[in-house]
């Protein structure tokens, strides 16, 4: 089972964590430089719930935004 929201299909996004070195110009240095970066994932706030899908109860993942909207029927 993929970890995606059943309603809005929201899933994981990829991005970078950037490690900087050097003293900032505001603190009297020559400026910060990017030393290295690594890939990371940004995960949505998914919750497991039992909802009705096509009239049958099913255990699915829903994001917190869709739970707040209430665009589903609880099983």
- Residue 14: pLDDT over 60: yes
What pLDDT is stored for residue 75 in this prediction? 87
Q: How much is the pTM? A: 0.70
Nearest Cα to Cα of residue 75 among 34, 64, 62, 63: 62
Query: What one-character-per-residue DSSP string does 52-67 give?
Result: EETTEEEEEEEEHHHH
Domain ranges within the chain, ordered by starting residue: 13-69
Q: Mean per-residue pLDDT for 10-34?
A: 94
- Going by pLDDT thresholds of 50, 70 and 90, the confidence category of residue 1 is low
Q: Tell me the two tokens of residue 15.
A: 């991005």
Q: Which two tokens stand for residue 30?
A: 């020559």
The residue behind tokens 């030393």 is 35
At residue 22, the pLDDT reads 94
Rounded to an integer, what distance in angstroms lies between the CA atom of residue 46 and that of residue 39? 21
Tokens 């099913």 belong to which residue? 58
pLDDT digits (tens, 9 = 90+) for 24-72: 999 999 999 999 999 999 999 999 999 999 999 999 999 999 999 998 8
């Amino acid at each position: 089972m993929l970890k995606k929201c059943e309603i809005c299909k929201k899933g994981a996004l990829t991005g970078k964590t950037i490690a900087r070195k050097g003293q900032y110009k505001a603190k009297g240095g020559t400026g910060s430089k990017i030393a290295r970066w690594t890939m990371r994932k940004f995960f949505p706030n998914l919750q497991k719930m039992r909802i009705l899908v096509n009239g049958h109860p099913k255990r699915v993942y829903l994001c917190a935004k869709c739970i707040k909207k209430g665009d589903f029927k609880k099983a």
